[in-house]
Structure 1
């Protein structure tokens, strides 16, 4: 039965309702019977109902809530289970709308819910290298474990293993993205897991595949066109290197502001770090109110139903304040390890995006196609070498921001990482760090696109020079006064057609 929307509304904001005691259980049972919420499994309810006229085969509000919150649901229903097999390889929900889980005592069964089915396969509990999925109670299969699990055939009509071909394809992706050392690490770690997984035969298969890939590399003959390019050296994206050269030339010739850091000491330093983290996360989709974010960063108060988003705020905030990462840039030869280390620290609570590992698939933003995985390492190494020819301070900071953003070396977190590198250069030189407010983000992205698509560096240099000056207009000693000033300047607004970015206590608008 579908009730009018007004009668279905509830003050409880939780998308998924799990009773804490018998009294709440009875209350939720009554609400489900009245058609206000939907029971999706034993002791688990979705805070929504589907319309009576929902077309067959279409995901309604209940299924959408289940799919968005599957980790919390399955962590409650099957605590200690490991996201494994094809789900671990594909990043969670498979094309067959399933989540595959390994569990040592609960297996050979399927839990069906609106929007997905949880398929339980016999397998060991969490092993060394498996990563906890926040506070959900689930774990994510490590890469070596996932590769072993995906060898062999699926007995179901729906594929739950990638099989030999799928594993080989993944190994080639790893080789292209991270080199032969990464494959050797996979082999060593898989060897140590094989006994606990009762996977001696699967390890022998995996070992043979890795040996063949590394052996044919040495012989100069790889299995894929991408691998053949890798065999010729560390390939680079020549078009992007040309673009980096255009930007470096412009930065050497264009005067940029030299702005001393007015927030170098506490409490201003901590307040600035919080605001930098807040805006950097907000524009990437991690959205909290400023009050919620303040509690997360400054009081370590994790939002219960959004632990991963909370750790996104904390991860960036902690990197900003870290005595090493705050004010140092890696030497060009160390850029790969340094980026992986920062990314791991920033995204460690999101195992599904492979923290600390370069991407294995090409990523996109709108109509922009970023560097192919095979070109990431070489392009970053060459691009970092070129950074030394750019003047220190804001000019080099602009260069590093664009270098990371243009290559997009990871599957997620690239925008935040690019701004962390930009500001690390500024702090290294004792210059003011930059905050890019929500209202200015679209203009900043447009400036990046002008360089990416038209090889025009002037808008990017102009945009970051302006926002660097704008940032220094705020005194961060009193956090709440600074937040009030930012609100008055329209920094938190999103529609640039309706609002203009102002400077404190003036009516000066964005140029």
Structure 2
């Protein structure tokens, strides 16, 4: 077996010995020559400064942990901290390997006795390594183990508060039920009793003596709202009420045209989010149900968006306002990403998320901000104006761990279809400018670039004939829609004139 195939099958800069003696000798020889550095038993990384070696170890900690302790579960404090803790440790549970530490430069694996993977624990890709379910992590962080391997009790309470704000009472009750089922297998009856008391206090006004955090004690005051975001939404709403926008009758409302538009809508929406297929592969997935064997989840991402864009029950159905808006949004998200359990489809985010330096709405404020923001939509003219508003509302709150961009475009288009107006796709070539327009509103409070951009895209989409897919794809290619570099290409209309 060659080094290029065996040694690099996990990563570009970390290598593992296997049962192949030739590979082991090759790695040892490269370490002796200085191109590799042995950082632990059977583990080598490309040589470099201490900082570079540390960075390679940190980037590949999951692979290293799976190699060192196959079958282990990332748990306790690490399950709360995203893996590596502030003290550069990863806490792992294993039924037979425990009470020891495995040290690497700037990283230590801390092994604790605990059962192997339980229902709800998530396997990390193809690695023999698992991530503790939320309920397992809550129970194990409430255990009586070492304080250095457990999250503080306040952190557990704050996590439960986030669950409550994100998924309401029903969601928190589900957490309790799943934790109850894990109490015996984890030998965590005492931890469950504590967890049960905290959840009971959060679901009741009788919280005195149980809840410890300010956020927990303030739960009874109602669902929090990000008022700065509501002010930003009001700025956009004010501009949309007076904006002169294109009013284009749906050019692909029925028959094959509707199928072909939904296909391209799903293709572009997924491509710009990193789910990339050739147009031909995507066509096979959508129109012939040819799931790509090596990429089943990506294939179902394409199908998920297509089905929501095409089917009558979702194509023109906009979520109602208030709490119902959030609930239906969660259902659309569940349907769209149901084959990706790792992103918790249908559940609001539990961790803060970012785009560059922009931090989106805090998890605890998501439900209230979406509910209040959706009410503001009814003050905006129907059709294009309200559609633009819905898109920005969802993008700016960013309520889910993944899929926010795709969902925002689906809800925008649902409003357009509800009013019999032509839907909008964002072609690959235009996506960088589209993101710049979103940023102008988020960071500078300027709504005009986003309004103008989506108006242009609405008009652009309507210049194409959607009846014949082969002709449509050819016309899109001629318009440079599938290109990625705005520096090298210009987006054209179907007639060859410049679109932007």
Contact 1:66 1:115 (C-alpha < 8 Å) held by counterparts? no
Give 1:189-208 correspondences, 5 Å limit: 189-208=178-197
Give 1:104-503 correspondences, 5 Å limit: 104=95, 121-131=112-122, 139-155=130-146, 159-215=148-204, 223-227=212-216, 230-265=219-254, 267-291=256-280, 293-294=282-283, 297=286, 299-302=289-292, 304=294, 309-333=298-322, 334-503=324-493
* Range that drifts further, 334-343 or 471-480: 471-480
**Residue 313 of structure 2 aligns to a residue in which SS?**
coil
Is 1:56 paired with 2:50?
yes
Note the C-alpha offset of 1:462: 1.5
Rounded to whole Å, the distance in 2 between the matches of 1:316 and 1:210 is: 36
Distance 1:28 1:504, change over 3 A: farther
Contact 2:95 2:114 (C-alpha < 8 Å) held by counterparts? yes
- Long gaps (5+) in structure 2: 13-18
Distance 1:123 1:356, change over 3 A: farther
Rounded to whole Å, the distance in 2 between the matches of 1:172 and 1:15 is: 38
- Long gaps (5+) in structure 1: 1-6, 18-23
Contact 2:366 2:397 (C-alpha < 8 Å) held by counterparts? yes
RMSD: 4.3
Note the C-alpha offset of 1:202: 0.9
Contact 2:202 2:219 (C-alpha < 8 Å) held by counterparts? no
How many residues in Structure 1 have an aligned counterpart in Structure 2?
489
> Which residue is equivalent to 2:16?
none
Note the C-alpha offset of 1:31: 6.7
Note the C-alpha offset of 1:90: 3.0
Contact 2:63 2:127 (C-alpha < 8 Å) held by counterparts? no
Q: Deviations over 1:284-321 (max 9, x none)?
A: 344444455555555443463x6655554444344334
Note the C-alpha offset of 1:372: 2.7
- TM-score normalized by the length of structure 2: 0.80
> Which residue is equivalent to 1:66?
60
Is 1:88 paired with 2:75?
no
Note the C-alpha offset of 1:466: 0.7
* Range that drifts further, 198-207 or 255-264: 255-264
Rounded to whole Å, the distance in 1 between the matches of 2:475 and 2:58 is: 39
Note the C-alpha offset of 1:206: 1.5
Contact 1:91 1:352 (C-alpha < 8 Å) held by counterparts? no
Q: Deviations over 1:307-355 (max 9, x none)?
A: 6555544443443345433331222141121122222333445545443
